[in-house]
Each structure stands twice: as structure tokens, then as C-alpha cells.
Amino acid sequence: MGIPVQGAAGLIVPGAPLAKAASPETMGFKAYNLARMAALGLNVPPAFVLGTNLCAHPEAVTPALWRDALTHLEAATGLRFGDPRRPLLLSVRSGAPVSMPGMMETLLNIGLTDATLPGLIRSTGNPRLAWDAYRRLIAGYGEVVAGIEAAAFEADLDQVRMGEDERALDFAALRDLAQRHLETYLRLTQEAFPQDAVAQLQAAIAAVFRSWSSAKAVAYREMRGLSHGMGTAVTVQRMVFGNAGGLSGAGVGFTRNPSDGDPAPWVDFLFNAQGEDVVSGRRSAQGHDRLAAIAPRVWEELVEATKALERHFGDMQDFEFTVEDGKLFLLQTREGKRTPQAAARIALDMADEGLIDRDTARSRTAGLDAAALTTRVIVAEDGAAAATLGHAATASSGVASGVVALNEEQVAAAEAAGKPAILARENAETHDVALIDRVRGLLTRHGARTSHAAVVARQLGKVCLVGCEAMRIDEPGDRIGFGDEWLDPGAVITLDGNSGTIFAGASRTAEQVPTELLRRLDLLHGRTG
């Protein structure tokens, strides 16, 4: 059973032409698009792919199957997997033939052990990076492979950071955190964290294939009417480090605004972070302004890359990237999920810009009539503005009012009473996908606009506000609070996805018809009034 891989020496590497046999069906859309970016000459970390055909045959996925591909990857990078002097570290990523944002697993920093950690410190000259990567590996591997609840590792982190931003921790604190994680892993699994790099990689690959059948992945496919038989591929890729300090970081972006279609990159970025910090929904990110101010050359290079992606793919893209010591790496791209309003504007603008022809624009906007494009906005009632509770980042526009629900039981209770609900969570996480589908809106204390859960909420047409740091959640008391004010259990709130404001009570709304957008659509489709 072969490995569908790409490019010179069986690798996806920058400049390698796209193989004729390459397809999303065999290698998954993520790896297929990675290979297309490589063929464009964009800077992507080298990788190899284990194809979708292996998802149904996990017994065939042994080290003997991927050892040759790993040897080629070592040759391309000048590093060796498991080597104590110059270790190669890997990411292991899922990738189905269709986009399933955040529904399957990713593992980072595979290959880091007690034996290889000193080599990473010597080769990078950065002990903080090494210990940060190690503690991340133990926590990520423990959660995904060993099934440990993330809260166990979050508790370790809380004890070490003492309320400070984890990115401010020095190497000594991160070393302490890694040791705590090792103890937590041993305590909860009754086994020591694996210190064999090959065993780590084998278990990581198996876990990513296994995540195709996870509850959240199955629920998402059922909601979207997708086949359960496609399977996922697995991409094994050289790690690049957004947590290297200085001009390093991780980001997720859209080549255009996915809420309204504005033709400018829409990016969330975290300095000194890895990609999972942004997409997991457990951390709040900044917009692109800080990246552009601190690293203008990187920002200019990223803007040019977004233009290249749109020219090649002919559509708005959702992409992930890492900056390591001022060097930009693109990790993935896919067609971006968008609101109907954004879909209309993007198709019209791209046709005007010559990126797509007008027949394609007509096809993409078929069915987008006044009813589909009309949105709701909040209007003052009797001249009085509603009481403002807080503000958050807008991940999906619109207006939604409902009873505050903190969990599945409260969502079910609201449904039984015939009341719409607003799901309030600490984090925007994809295991909530089934709940998100049942509520009017999602409000989170942490998380980025581009987190996977926010992307799914937008796709499902739900209003979504993330990163409301002023919100507090009291699960035992069934209530939420803002500042010094606590709301009674069962309180109604309104999310204004147009302004990012949270209001007390149910706000009065009115329809807003996008007159100019409809006029442009009528011209495109040859409709007359």
C-alpha cells in the first residue's frame, strides 16, 4: 500500500511541481493545497503525506510504511528525527477531501524527548523555545493520544503563571511547567511520557487517523451531509516555531473579510505563539495591526502571498501561517467560509478585478436574493439605548437574542420552553459544534475571530462574539457576569455581531436591506426592476 507523496524525493517542498496523480481525494485537501502552494514557490515547510486510503486500514500504518519518506524529509532539512544533536521535530496534521475546520486533531513538536531537548537548545540557542515546545508536546500528546482532559494541563499552567500571560514565562518557569506536565501525565495514565521519538510519531499518526471517527467529526459530517467513508489523510511536516520569541508568532487569516467581503486581509496573530494557540479557541489573539507595526516587511510579504493565493485559487482563502525569526511560512490554505453578504460582494469584486469570469460570479451568487442578503440591526426603543454589558470581537455578524445557556442541559431546557438560547462559554472550542447548531449565537470569554469554532459558527449562520474578557462564568450558579454585575439565571441577552456589543435583554431589531449590493447583483444577472 503506497504513500501518496509529492514532489522531489517524495516530498512537498517549495518549487516542486504538482504531480499529475495528486488529488484531494487521495491526499486530502489540506495536503493537496499545500502541494499547490509549494508549486507556486510559496514558502511552505517540507512534508510528506499518508493518504486517505490508509484511514480505513490503521493496521497498515507502521513505521516501515513511512520510514523512507521520513528519510527524504531528513535529507531535505539537514536534520535527523530523534537525533540528540540536531533533532528534526514534526507536526502531524489531518486533512480530509473536504474542509472540516477543527473537527480532527493536530499534534505539534513530535520528536522532542529528554534526549533530544538539549540538542534543540544547542541548535537554536534558545532554551526558552525548547522548554516551551516540550511542555506543549506533553500537553497536546496527553490530550489527543492519551485522552487526558485539557483542564489537567491548564491547571498546571495556572499554577506556574500565577495570572500572567504564559508568553511572558521564562525558560526556568517553562522547565518547571514541563516537569509538572510529565508528572500529570504519569499520574493520570500510570505510564511515563514516551521518550522514543519513533513511538511518538507512530502514536501521533494513529491518533490523527482515529480522529476521523471522533464524536465532533461525526456530528459535523452529519450536519453538513458529508460522507463518513471518505477518510482523512495525515500530513507529516517539519515544525517551524512561532514561539521562538522576537519576530516570531502564529496567525490565521482570510484574504478578505468573511463577514462582509471587504477586500482586505482579515488576520488574527499572536506573537511568540504556536498555531494551536490561535485556532483552538482557548487564547485571544490580536488583529493584524500589531504585526504590521512591529514587522512591516513580514506583513507586506503576507499581503503579497494573499494576492498570489487568490490569483491561483480564484476564491477567497482561509490560511494559516507561522513567522519564525522574521521568516514567513504558509502552512495551509482552503476556501474560506463566509456569510451570504460576503459571498455576494466577494464574487462581484473578484469579477470586477478579473480574478474570475462573470459566469463564475453568476454561479457563486445564484440564489442570493434580497431575502438571503437582508440582515438585522439593533434600533433604539423609544429613543433609549439598551443597557450595554460588554464588548467582544466580532467573528460572525447579525443580531441574536436569547436565554443565556452555559451547557447542553440548559440549551435543552430552553428548547423545551420554546425559547432561543445564547451559548456562553469560556473558550470557543469545536467539541461544541452540535450545541452551536442548536442556539442563536455564541459568546466566549477567550478565543480568536479565526478560531475553528468561530469559523464553524459563521458557516452555520450563527452570530458569534469572541474574546469578551470582561465576562465571567459561574457554572455552579448557572449565571454569567460582566464587571461587577451578575445576571440572574435564565437572563436574556442580545449579541450584536455588527458592532461586537453585548446588551441586556432582548433588543428591538429592524431589517437592513443592502441596496447597493442588490443593485450590483441585478446587473450581474441581467435582472431589471
Alpha-carbon distance of 453 to 467, in angstroms, equals: 13
Q: Which pLDDT value is given to residue 382?
A: 64
- Domain end marker among 307, 336, 365: 336
Give the containing element (helix H, strand E) for 503. strand 501-504
Beta bridge partners of 321: 251, 330
User: pLDDT band at residue 6, thresholds of 50, 70 and 90?
Assistant: very low
Whether residues 389 and 500 fall in one domain: yes
Lookup result for grid cell 459530517:
221
Report the range of poorest mean pLDDT among 7-21, 89-103, 239-253.
7-21
Report the range of poorest mean pLDDT among 4-8, 254-258, 359-363, 439-443.
4-8
Residue 400 has pLDDT above 80, yes or no: yes
Query: Does 253 fall in a domain?
Result: yes
Number of domains in the chain: 3
Q: Which pLDDT value is given to residue 35?
A: 95
Task: Name the residue with higher pLDDT: 488 or 187.
Answer: 187
Residue 4 has pLDDT above 90, yes or no: no
Residue 9 has pLDDT above 60, yes or no: no
Q: Which pLDDT value is given to residue 3?
A: 45
Whether residues 415 and 455 fall in one domain: yes
Contacts of 162 (CB under 8 A, 6+ apart): none
Alpha-carbon distance of 108 to 136, in angstroms, equals: 8
Report the range of poorest mean pLDDT among 70-74, 112-116, 275-279, 347-351.
275-279
- Domain end marker among 283, 312, 336: 336
- Domain end marker among 315, 336, 357: 336
Whether residues 458 and 517 fall in one domain: no
Provide the percentage of residues in the chain whose pLDDT is more than 90: 75
Q: Which pLDDT value is given to residue 316?
A: 98
pLDDT tens per residue across span 452-468: 888 888 888 899 999 99
Residue 268 has pLDDT above 50, yes or no: yes
Alpha-carbon distance of 416 to 414, in angstroms, equals: 5
User: pLDDT band at residue 383, thresholds of 50, 70 and 90?
Assistant: low
Alpha-carbon distance of 399 to 412, in angstroms, equals: 22
For residue 368, the enclosing domain spans: 340-373+513-525
Provide the percentage of residues in the chain whose pLDDT is more than 70: 96
Query: Does 108 fall in a domain?
Result: no
Residue 529 has pLDDT above 70, yes or no: no
Alpha-carbon distance of 452 to 450, in angstroms, equals: 6
Q: Which pLDDT value is given to residue 325?
A: 95
Query: Does 482 fall in a domain?
Result: yes
CB 526, CB 381: distance < 8 Å: no
With residues binned 3-state (H G I as helix, E B as strand, rest as coil), the percentages for the chain, rounded to 5, are: 40, 20, 35
Distance of CA 314 to the CA centre of its chain: 22
Q: Which pLDDT value is given to residue 431?
A: 80
Whether residues 357 and 331 fall in one domain: no
pLDDT tens per residue across span 385-394: 678 999 999 9
Query: Does 290 fall in a domain?
Result: yes
Whether residues 345 and 445 fall in one domain: no
Residue 174 has pLDDT above 90, yes or no: yes
Residue 23 has pLDDT above 80, yes or no: yes
Whether residues 501 and 519 fall in one domain: no
Average pLDDT, rounded, for the chain: 92
CB 450, CB 254: distance < 8 Å: yes
Query: Does 203 fall in a domain?
Result: no
Alpha-carbon distance of 28 to 104, in angstroms, equals: 13
User: pLDDT band at residue 309, thresholds of 50, 70 and 90?
Assistant: very high
pTM, two decimals, is 0.89
pLDDT tens per residue across span 271-285: 998 888 877 766 777
Query: Does 223 fall in a domain?
Result: no
User: pLDDT band at residue 527, thresholds of 50, 70 and 90?
Assistant: confident
Whether residues 293 and 389 fall in one domain: no
Whether residues 313 and 404 fall in one domain: no
Query: Does 31 fall in a domain?
Result: no
Whether residues 507 and 358 fall in one domain: no
User: How far apart are the two ends of the chain, measured CA to CA in Å?
Assistant: 60
Q: Which pLDDT value is given to residue 166?
A: 84
Query: Does 177 fall in a domain?
Result: no
Whether residues 279 and 328 fall in one domain: yes
pLDDT tens per residue across span 194-224: 999 999 999 999 999 999 999 999 999 998 9
Distance of CA 240 to the CA centre of its chain: 17
Lookup result for grid cell 467529526:
217
Whether residues 359 and 407 fall in one domain: no
Backbone angles phi, psi at 101, to 5 degrees: -55, 115
Q: If you average pLDDT over residues 372-396, what whole number do you get?
A: 83
Alpha-carbon distance of 85 to 58, in angstroms, equals: 32
pLDDT tens per residue across span 467-517: 998 999 998 888 999 988 899 888 999 999 999 999 999 988 888 999 999
Q: If you average pLDDT over residues 121-146, what whole number do you get?
A: 96
Residue 381 has pLDDT above 80, yes or no: no
Q: Give CB contacts under 8 A, 24+ apart, made by 151-158.
A: 152/184, 152/188, 153/181, 153/184, 156/180, 156/181, 156/184
Whether residues 415 and 316 fall in one domain: no
Give the CATH number of the domain where residue 423 resides.
Answer: 3.50.30.10
User: pLDDT band at residue 447, thresholds of 50, 70 and 90?
Assistant: confident
